[in-house]
Chains A and B, each alone.
Chain A
Amino acid sequence: MHEEIIHTENKPKEKQNYVMLDLGKSPEFGLPAFKQVVKRSLNGELFVGLWVTLREMAKTLFMGGKHTTKYPMEKLPISPRYRAIHNMLRLLESGHYRCIGCGLCEKICISNCIAMDTRYDENQRKEVSEYTINFGRCIYCGYCAEVCPELAIVHGGRYETASEQRASFSLFDDMLTPIDMLKQQQEFQGFGSVSPNADAAIKKTPLAY
């Protein structure tokens, strides 16, 4: 066993403990080889293996230690930073959609997948007449959500995107929060927000870089 200090320019000095397995030289002939065979055969390592699997089986059966998530029935929570199918948010008071038709998202979109058209309504306010996102092209980079001045377009958590028609996702009304779900509308924390359990989820990385 020897210790090694790794020096890097911009990383703190890390001390790493590499353990060298001292297996020695394996005897090949005669009595020493025979002794090694007997020693290795009779020291019961095989039973350690048996014990481990039996212990895991007992844990699984009686202590609820199963790792399986039954996916379509059970789902793991995803991070609020997850960038899946977009959501269009509404104003909480009036229920009107937040989009002001500025067109920034269309401009910044690097895969050119947002297409929008606007017009003036009877009150001379700008309203969105067409708004589609081509999810065949979208790379889910999140620039549209980042650039939006009104927090109107954000990324949602809808990652199950198998569908019979592309139109199931890509229209403005499909992405818009349903008016009866307005109370449950989650405020977007901002692009790059941390998940609520971020502190608990921090683990020491196995390798010190």
Chain B
Amino acid sequence: MDALVIGTIIKVVLVLLIVSALAGFGTYIERKVLAFMQRRLGPTHVGPFGLLQIAADGIKLFTKEDIIPQHANKFIFSLAPVITAATAFIALSAVPLFPTFVIPESLPLIGGAIVPSVIADVNIGILFVLGMMAAGLYGPLLAGMAQANKWGILGSARTAVQFLSYEVVTGLSVLAPIMLVGSLSLIDFNSAQAGGIGSWIIWQQPVAFVLFLIAGFAETNRTPFDLLEHEAEIISGYVTEYSGLRWGMFFIGEYSNMFTVSILAAVIFCGGYGDLGFIPGSLALLLKVVFFFFLMLWVRASWPHIRPDQLMWLCWKVLMPLAVVNIVITGIVVMI
């Protein structure tokens, strides 16, 4: 029991540190990829290939003056970024990050311990992760409403509309794979696709995969659905009045959510951490996550935003009917 608690704490700390660092590294990768796609250089001056730009940005964010607007609700204003960052990290606790492995006996103290692939293997894994990401809605919503700024209000209104609508599509799109696998645990999803590329759920559920990706883009606030902080229209949306560390926490939360959605897409539809030919499972999962992350940056460089009304139109008139039809067809096939 004690070993389980200690092991879990160690994993939590590791995941927190690594994912926060990755979120920073994600900004670097994003800036580089966008720059190359627009024939620019991206960050080059700080450190080799501009790699230390992350550290420079971090120092800048941490040492910036902490400003709370005069008429803002101070408690909620300071609480909101914590909600975003915390829910993003809590969601990661039920997501498998690597194959289950045994620590080699040769290591002192912890040798021979079995490390499960997930921090908390709750039997409602998918529901928990999606629920946590949905709870992340409160971050932008409260932030926008607490800061006494009209752009913030508009941003939080858009947040509520967008996240709540696309929650429906996400839920319905993963419902069909759940019916196929018969479990909500992401570990079961992984073992259901253990038979190589041919057994991936993406081949049986291509529509659900596309729907999940689209909804994932909307829920992580990525282009073409980044209406929440659309600079040209509403300054910065819900983060208008934020600066420094608080703004950085929104940022970390957003990037952690991108990782979560990438991992979910990889685990639910693309075989997760199953071995891929000669590629070991951990590396395979990493490659898939990297691909989905790159896809988000790629799409950001390529496609324009859509209008809020088009966003709603797409969600309720196209994606949701498609998802429902997909579920009905899947149900009929499963019954037969």
Contact = CB atoms under 8 A, between A and B. Distances in A.
Interface of A: 37, 41, 46, 49-50, 52-54, 56-57, 59-61, 65-68, 70
Nearest to B38: A56
Contact of A68 (B37, B40, B298, B318): B40
Contact of B302 (A37, A41, A50, A67): A50
Contact of B303 (A41, A46, A70): A46
A53 B298 contact: yes
A49 B299 CA distance: 9
A65 B299 CA distance: 21
B299 A50 contact: yes
A10 B18 CA distance: 71
Listed residue (B38, B44, B318) with the most chain A CB atoms within 10 angstroms of its CB: B38
Contact of B41 (A49, A54, A57, A66): A66
Interface in B153-196: none
A56 B40 contact: no
Given A50-B302, A54-B298, A67 B39 contact: yes
Contacts of B33: 57
A52 B39 contact: no
Contact of A53 (B40, B41, B44, B302): B302
B301 A53 contact: yes
A46 B301 CA distance: 12
Contacts of A53: 37, 298, 301-302
B303 A56 contact: no
B62 interface: no
B36 interface: yes
A145 to B, nearest CB: 38
B299 A57 contact: no
A66 B40 contact: yes
Contacts of B41: 66, 68, 70
B35 to A, nearest CB: 8
Contacts of B40: 60, 66-68
Interface residues of B, number: 14
A62 to B, nearest CB: 10
B336 to A, nearest CB: 28
A46 B214 CA distance: 13
B302 A52 contact: yes
B37 A57 contact: yes
A61 B38 CA distance: 11
A73 B85 CA distance: 40
Nearest to B40: A68
21 contacts: A37-B318, A41-B318, A46-B302, A46-B303, A49-B302, A50-B298, A50-B299, A50-B302, A53-B298, A53-B302, A54-B298, A56-B36, A56-B37, A56-B39, A59-B39, A60-B37, A60-B40, A65-B39, A66-B41, A70-B41, A70-B44
Contacts of A67: 39-40
B273 to A, nearest CB: 27
A70 B40 CA distance: 10
Contacts of B37: 53-54, 56-57, 60
Contacts of B44: 70
Given A50-B299, A54-B37, 18 more contacts: A37-B318, A41-B318, A46-B302, A53-B298, A53-B301, A54-B298, A56-B37, A57-B33, A59-B39, A60-B37, A60-B40, A66-B40, A67-B39, A67-B40, A68-B40, A68-B41, A70-B41, A70-B44
A65 B35 CA distance: 12
Contacts of B36: 56-57, 60-61
A165 B211 CA distance: 64
Contacts of A37: 318
Contact of A66 (B39, B298, B299, B318): B39
A71 to B, nearest CB: 12
Contacts of B301: 53
Contacts of A49: 302-303
